[in-house]
């Protein structure tokens, strides 16, 4: 059995995807399914608190805060820690909107490892969500950029689609193989 304080025995699962593709809902549902905790996306909190999207220089703050929260919640996790985004997505969005990820963000992106990576398909209607979401076309473009990046880096991932229930079933099936 996994100890609450043994971070090394916690399997970190990165849930990546473009805006409005169901990452948060999936992270929360998986945490409930596995009776553990999940790490909400800090960017959402930042946007709500600041009432604006982050500037280029703030991207590293977003990524570092996300990792700090992961590390803190890993202490409460049971076997799995479901992370709604990662520094990889922050760096991808930085490159998408600003043309590059600064050196600190690129270094954080490169060093941060997960035990399993899930990508959420943008296979349901896009929903506007205030300042943080742009359009269905941007969502599709970012999704394609993410898949290209993962392929380029030869990072294995599970692409999930369908309803929330179907996505949880797909992930559960895949994670059962990690346990064997």
Report d(CA 97, CA 16) in Å as an integer.
17
Q: Please list, in sequence order, all residues whose beta carbon lies within 8 angstroms of the beta carbon of residue 159, skipping any fewer than 6 positions away.
A: 118, 119, 121, 147
Q: Please list, in sequence order, all residues whose beta carbon lies within 8 angstroms of the beta carbon of residue 26, skipping any fewer than 6 positions away.
A: 15, 82, 118, 120, 160, 164, 167, 168, 171
Q: What are the CA-CA distances from residue 180 to residues 19, 165, 175, 177 (Å)? A: 33, 23, 9, 5
**pLDDT of 129 above 70:** no
Mean pLDDT, residues 27-56 taken together: 94
**pLDDT of 113 above 60:** yes
pTM of the model: 0.90
User: What is the per-residue pLDDT for 111?
Assistant: 86
CB-based contact 139:126 (threshold 8 Å): yes
> What domains, with CATH codes, occur in the chain?
7-179 (3.40.50.300)
- Assign 42 to helix, strand or coil: helix
- Partnered with residue 82 across adjacent β-strands are 13, 38
């Amino acid at each position: 059995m996994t100890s609450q304080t043994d971070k090394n025995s916690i399997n970190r699962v990165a849930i990546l995807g473009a805006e409005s593709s169901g990452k948060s809902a999936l992270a929360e549902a998986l945490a409930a399914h596995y009776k553990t905790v999940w790490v909400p996306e800090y960017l959402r909190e930042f946007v709500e608190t600041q009432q604006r999207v982050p500037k280029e220089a703030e991207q590293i703050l977003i990524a570092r805060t996300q990792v700090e929260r992961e590390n803190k919640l890993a202490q409460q996790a049971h076997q799995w820690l479901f992370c709604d985004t990662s520094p990889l997505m922050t760096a991808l969005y930085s490159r998408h909107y600003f043309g590059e990820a600064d050196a600190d963000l690129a270094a954080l992106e490169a060093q941060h490892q997960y035990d399993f990576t899930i990508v959420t398909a943008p296979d349901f209607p896009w929903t506007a969500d205030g300042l943080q979401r742009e359009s269905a076309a941007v969502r599709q473009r970012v999704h394609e950029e993410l898949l290209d990046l993962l392929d380029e880096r030869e990072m294995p991932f599970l692409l999930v689609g369908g309803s929330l229930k179907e996505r949880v079933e797909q992930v559960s099936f895949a994670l059962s193989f990690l346990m064997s």
